[in-house]
């Protein structure tokens, strides 16, 4: 469902353009029908004009309703629907917990040669401008609907996803995903934090190369307070 809404969002402007053109045509028919009703002399002529007037009004109301449904779905409903993990590439399972398939020395070759990721005390790997969070940042308090930002930026990128887990839990839930390089920009769909209890959580970015090899995830701690 979320994937469909994201698709609709990508062509939202074209929906409005088509609806606007059709609405303009029926607006002209509406005014023409009004004139016909006003000038009608015979009963049959008046009935035909009234029928055309009614059709024009109903069509315009339907177009207005369709535009409203599209706007509400994209603006208000989309952030409330959790990402289902689907991507166009059928061989990728976004809901699977990543399994390290490379030795540490092999994993690092996915980063530029001049950059060496340095793990923190808890084994977290984040590299500025390459694999990092810019919003929220580690230790930040968040609430409501947020649009996470960060960087997933290396030439061999296959896909990435960002997900959350309650502090102390090994269950990671995917929020959104993508397959294009990102530099200090949105990581995907918005996350409605009100769908989970307040408390301490972890967020992580998981990325793979073109051969589906996983990099060490970039993980931060956040406090959700709703």
Alpha-carbon gap, residue 37 to 52, rounded angstroms = 10
Q: Quickly list DSSP for 56-102.
A: HHHHHHHHHHHHHHHHHIIIIIGGGSPP----S-TT--TTSPP---S
For the record, the structure tokens of 52 come out as 């055309």
72-106: per-residue pLDDT in tens?
877 776 655 554 444 444 444 445 444 444 443 34
Tell me, what's the pLDDT at 92?
45
Helix or strand run (H / E) with residue 182: strand 182-186
Q: What is the pTM of this model?
A: 0.49
For every one of its 226 residues, what pLDDT tens digit does the chain have, with 9 covering 90 and above? 556 666 666 777 888 898 999 999 999 988 988 888 888 778 888 888 888 889 989 999 998 988 888 888 777 766 555 544 444 444 444 454 444 444 433 443 445 444 444 444 444 689 888 999 999 999 999 999 999 999 999 888 888 999 999 998 989 999 988 889 999 999 988 899 999 999 999 999 999 988 888 888 999 999 999 8
Tell me, what's the pLDDT at 113?
46
Q: Phi first, then psi: give them for residue 150, nearest 5 degrees.
A: 180, -165
Place of tokens 């923190």: 120
């Amino acid at each position: 469902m979320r994937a469909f809404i994201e698709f609709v969002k990508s062509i939202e402007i074209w929906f409005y353009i088509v609806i606007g053109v059709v609405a303009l045509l029926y607006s002209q028919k509406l005014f023409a029908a009004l004139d016909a009703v006003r000038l009608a002399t015979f009963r049959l002529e008046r009935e035909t004009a009234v029928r055309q007037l009614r059709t024009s009004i109903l069509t315009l109301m339907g177009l207005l309703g369709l535009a409203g449904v599209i706007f509400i779905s994209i603006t208000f409903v989309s952030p409330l629907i959790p990402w289902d993990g689907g991507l166009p590439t059928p061989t990728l399972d976004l809901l699977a917990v990543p399994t390290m398939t490379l030795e540490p020395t092999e994993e690092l070759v996915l980063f530029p040669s001049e950059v060496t990721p340095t793990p923190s005390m808890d084994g977290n790997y984040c590299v500025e401008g390459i694999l990092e969070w810019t919003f929220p940042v580690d230790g930040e308090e968040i609430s409501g609907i947020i649009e996470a930002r960060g960087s997933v930026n290396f030439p061999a990128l296959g896909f990435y996803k960002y997900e959350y887990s309650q502090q102390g839990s090994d269950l990671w839930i995917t929020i959104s995903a993508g397959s294009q390089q990102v530099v200090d920009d949105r990581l995907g769909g918005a996350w409605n934090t009100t769908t989970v209890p307040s408390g301490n959580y972890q967020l992580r970015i998981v990325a793979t190369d073109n051969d589906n090899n996983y990099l060490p995830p970039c993980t931060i701690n956040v406090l959700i307070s709703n």
